[in-house]
Amino acid sequence: AQSVSQHNHHVILSEAASLELGCNYSYGGTVNLFWYVQYPGQHLQLLLKYFSGDPLVKGIKGFEAEFIKSKFSFNLRKPSVQWSDTAEYFCAVTRSGAGSYQLTFGKGTKLSVIP
Amino acid sequence: NAGVTQTPKFRVLKTGQSMTLLCAQDMNHEYMYWYRQDPGMGLRLIHYSVGEGTTAKGEVPDGYNVSRLKKQNFLLGLESAAPSQTSVYFCASSTLGRAYNEQFFGPGTRLTVL
């Protein structure tokens, strides 16, 4: 079974600082990768996803992520965070192939942006 | 479109009581899922359904039952609630079973079992 590790439990940044949240997965086969965001009191929303092609994926609100297959990583980045980015971020993975639609989530990284 | 909706939003139960959480989606999605979210644990899949009348167990199914009598609805039941089931429950849906398809999440139900 696949698993997902998110390295940071809580990250605190000042506005305009750069962000990188780590995500590593354990599965030897082909995977599809996602980052979801949960703003305070809200449900999860898709930030970006990767399933094939260019390993640098751009998502909403200026976020991007890079899939590095050799490192089993899918780190999330943003060059300059805003207070409104305060949220919890979840990395998730599914295996490619028929019937592989179940998402396995990491434990989440809480981001606090200080004005 | 309302997307994915969940009722109720909040509920407090006593140990041993039963309840049903309702999830509804208006996107004509084939696949529906129930997750629980606990602090520091991320989301864990309880049960899922690949179509009307079919359900399957996820990662943490014990203590829960589900039913999908209509395509748009997915019910999660707790027959005898336990304090360990205190959690936030999220329903999600997706179209077909493609691994790269986005799952759309509902707003969640916060359940406390005393």
Range of the domain at B49: 4-113
**Interatomic CA distance for residues B114 and B96, integer angstroms:** 38
Size of interface A-B (CB pairs under 8 A): 60
- Residues of chain B falling short of pLDDT 50: none
Total Cβ atoms within 10 A of residue A14 = 10
CATH code of the domain in which A8 resides? 2.60.40.10
Does any CB of chain B come closer than 8 Å to the CB of residue A98?
yes
- What is the tally of structural domains in chain A? 1
Q: Which residues in chain B touch residue A74, judged by CB atoms under 8 angstroms apart?
A: none
The CATH number given to whatever domain includes residue B12 is 2.60.40.10
A102 with B100: Cβ contact below 8 A: no
Instruction: Write the DSSP symbol of residue B101.
Output: P
Instruction: Assess whether pLDDT exceeds 80 at residue A2.
Output: no
CB contact at 8 A, B103 and B32: no
Mean pLDDT within A94-98 = 72
The predicted structure's pLDDT at residue A101: 67
Phi, psi dihedral angles at B93 (to 5 degrees)? -140, 155
Question: Could you tell me the residue range of the domain that residue A82 belongs to?
Answer: 3-114
Number of domains in chain B: 1
Position B66 scores a pLDDT of 97
Residue range A54-80: average pLDDT?
Answer: 96
